[in-house]
Amino acid sequence: MRRVAVVRNTHTCLGRPKIMSGSTPSVVVVGGGPAGCATGVFTARYGLETTILDRGSSSLRRAAFVENYLGFPAGIDPETFYDLAHDHAREAGCDLVEDMVVEVTDASEGFRVETQDDRVLDADFVVAATKYDWQYLDALPVDFVDDGEYEQFDSSLVEQDGATPLDGLYVAGPNAGVPDQVLVAAGHGAHVGRAIIADVRRADGYEGTFAEHYDWLRREENLTGEWATRERWQEYLDDAPDAPDDDELRERYIDDRFAKYLDEDEREERKRNAHRRLADHLDLGEELTD
């Protein structure tokens, strides 16, 4: 085991996850609700091998209607929202599996995840994104049980970005101490996804601000002036205190910057495709046109 410790009331996550050698870093997300799917969208889009295990018991399914999620002026029914979230996770590259996790154990490299249907998955990172039934973490060398009047998850052991005292184990959503709202849970899941990506980038050799990855796209017409040249970016890396010394990492960083720009034709194509995908999930019967 990487560290044998029963830790309470600490806010220090020591060391870095040991990423399995010779393979793409892998992430197993337990729970396919808003927090879990948001985490998966970010990690999968970065290229991490991401599996979301969901038995369909997200607390979102207990809601009658969601009226405060940004972007849905008249609200959204939980069933449609759930389908949209899963469609997005799959589109990002997640493997979404209907199964229940029964135990997560600490392995020499990463974690071993066992499920009700006898699946066994090895993972560099595990994200606990379930509000209920978190006892699958009991075999880990950290006690997450709050010894209060009622047995509940001890969110005091979780950092703002979802990190826990056990390297590579993250918590996303309400059990991390964030408010129990769909929009907030999804936002926290995204925060956790970015924290995992930063861990991977640090393992690759990026440090400081260069370990942060921003997943957004820009308009090509804004790529002008000196910053439109590789030479200017190379000068920037020469002066930045946290910039990697490795030439390959530097070139990869510059390539990633330029890859974020889209021309007008590609933006319009993506817009049309996005609208079609949304329409696939909507009931557009005649009764809605009255």
* Maximum CA extent, the chain: 64
Sheet of 111-115: strand order equals: 101-106, 111-115, 120-123
Q: What is the mean pLDDT of residues 165-179?
A: 96
Q: Which residues contact 59 (CB under 8 A, 6 or more apart)?
A: 33, 131, 132, 174, 180
Q: Which residue is associated with the tokens 């999968």? A: 44
Cα 273 from Cα 21, distance rounded (Å): 37
| Residue 273 DSSP one-character state | H
Query: What's residue 61's pLDDT?
Result: 80
Q: How confident is the model at residue 286 (pLDDT cuts 50, 70, 90)?
A: low
- For 213, the 3-state DSSP assignment is coil
Asked if residues 145 and 151 have their Cβ atoms less than 8 Å apart, the reply is: yes
Q: What is the mean pLDDT of residues 125-154?
A: 89
What's the pTM value of the predicted model, to 2 decimals?
0.90
Question: In 46-94, where does DSSP find H-type helix?
Answer: 78-92
